[in-house]
Structure 1
Amino acid sequence: MSDRSLPDGVERHEFEDETRLATRGPPVYGEPTDGDWRAWDPERSKLGGMFELGFDTGLTGGETVLYLGAASGTTVSHVADFAGPTYAVEFAPRPARDLVEAAEPRDRLFPLLKDARKPTTYAHVVESGVDAIVQDVATRGQADVAVRNARFLADDGRLVLAIKARSEDSTAEPEAVFERSLDRLRNAYEVLETARLDRFHEDHLGVVATPK
């Protein structure tokens, strides 16, 4: 891939004789470190996988990000290392506790114990006109979640989405699931790029889109 698509603050560093993506920040999930730099594992991060595959995400570094499906903070902690204010929405209490711990040393990471399917519950906290929405929500209606949260995105912002086919329908062919999800997304977005993430995440589709 070309590293020209990587945001400022995401670089390649040597870890145990292997060149890997990295951000600068405190470790979160036992990842290898080299001084202030921490390896970004694409097999544990859909966004990391998208960077490895050369997606043009539109992320440049320093932007305001709304992250939907933050879980325990594995990926969103990397995002907060290179981005500006990063709002991390997670619904499940157990991973949210780990998310809060990951946020403690990061003054740009704001954890929100909220349901990404109900954006009105955090609309009073998240500023309008965010530069990017990064979404990794393992539930039915993933495209619906993206459409409902489009209200927060700047006119020239980017949606960076990972669609998990098995969370939508465990019996249908992934390609059919992806097509249905993309049709729903097009109600609110212009889809710029799609590609399977199977090298790192089986039956996932990476999507980059911008608001209509």
Structure 2
Amino acid sequence: MIDGLEERSIGGETGLATRGEPVYGEPTADGWRLWDRSRSKLAVLLDRGVDTGLEAGSTVLYLGAASGTTVSHVADLAGPTYAVEFAPRPMRDLLTVAEDRQNLFPLLKDARQPESYAHVVEPVDVIVQDVAIRGQADVALANRQFLKEDGRLVLSVKARSEDVTRDPEAVFAEVKERLAEGYTVRYAESLEPFHDDHLGIVAEPDR
């Protein structure tokens, strides 16, 4: 188990928890806050015991941070956490989340244009990507430049964002094939029943 991540029973619910200020109405007790798997793809992987590469003190680039639900838990555990979000509205919420986390750095940027934040982001141990747009593998490849040689990509692929008309399995196969142009996939499994038509991927950069 990662330091700072524990299984806890809080408010009648049992699951993984981190220590930090509450963000989205999650159950809390004694400074611990439950990490809701139904609202976080990364939480599903961690609950399954998947080796995501995330450790206490890791440097993280989070793509698609939205209003901060998952990235707040990541920042509770990690070291410097760079949170990229394109939309101004959720960014306002993310800025509020960052007020309680000095290691969380919100960036109002487009994950498809990593050159716009390359001057800010240092080499990272983990890239966590949850970007619901077409071309999710392309985003992962474009941001590979930030990942250390022994780092990990943790990618949540939303099939319906790639093509709502196609069979999700066909979409997933295509994404994995595209990823192979810069990564070696070590894990790829459905995130159901918590997230329909989503595939969780853990990959390493090709050396």
TM-score (norm 1): 0.95
- The residue type paired with residue 88 of structure 1 is A
Residue from 177, 180, 184 that aligns with 2:178: 184
1:64 pairs with 2:59: yes
For 1:54 and 1:12, locate their aligned partners in 2 and report how far apart those are by CA, in whole Å.
12
Structure 1 moving runs of 4+ over 4 Å: none
In structure 2, what is the equivalent of residue 84 of structure 1?
79
Provide the alpha-carbon RMSD of the alignment: 0.8
Deviation, 1:163, is: 0.2
For 1:171 and 1:54, locate their aligned partners in 2 and report how far apart those are by CA, in whole Å.
33
For 1:195 and 1:61, locate their aligned partners in 2 and report how far apart those are by CA, in whole Å.
25
For 2:103 and 2:141, locate their aligned partners in 1 and report how far apart those are by CA, in whole Å.
25
Residue from 162, 182, 200 that aligns with 2:156: 162
Deviation, 1:56, is: 1.6
For 1:18 and 1:32, locate their aligned partners in 2 and report how far apart those are by CA, in whole Å.
8
Deviation, 1:63, is: 0.5
In structure 1, what is the equivalent of residue 143 of structure 2?
149
Residue from 100, 104, 120 that aligns with 1:105: 100
Q: How many residues align?
A: 206
Retained in 1: the 8 A contact 2:11–2:28? no
Deviation, 1:210, is: 0.6
For 1:190 and 1:104, locate their aligned partners in 2 and report how far apart those are by CA, in whole Å.
36
Q: Tell me whether 8-17 or 63-72 shows the greater mean CA deviation.
A: 8-17
In structure 1, what is the equivalent of residue 44 of structure 2?
49
Q: Deviations over 1:138-191 (max 9, x none)?
A: 000000000000000000000001000000000100000000000110101011
Q: Deviations over 1:4-31 (max 9, x none)?
A: xx42211111112332110000000011
Residue aligned with 1:89, SS: strand
Deviation, 1:199, is: 1.7
Q: Identity of aligned pairs, percent?
A: 65
TM-score (norm 2): 0.98
Residue from 34, 43, 58 that aligns with 1:39: 34
**Structure 2: runs of 5+ lacking an equivalent:** none
In structure 1, what is the equivalent of residue 203 of structure 2?
209
**Structure 1: runs of 5+ lacking an equivalent:** 1-5
For 1:205 and 1:95, locate their aligned partners in 2 and report how far apart those are by CA, in whole Å.
24
Q: Deviations over 1:40-89 (max 9, x none)?
A: 00000010111123322121221000000000000000000000000000
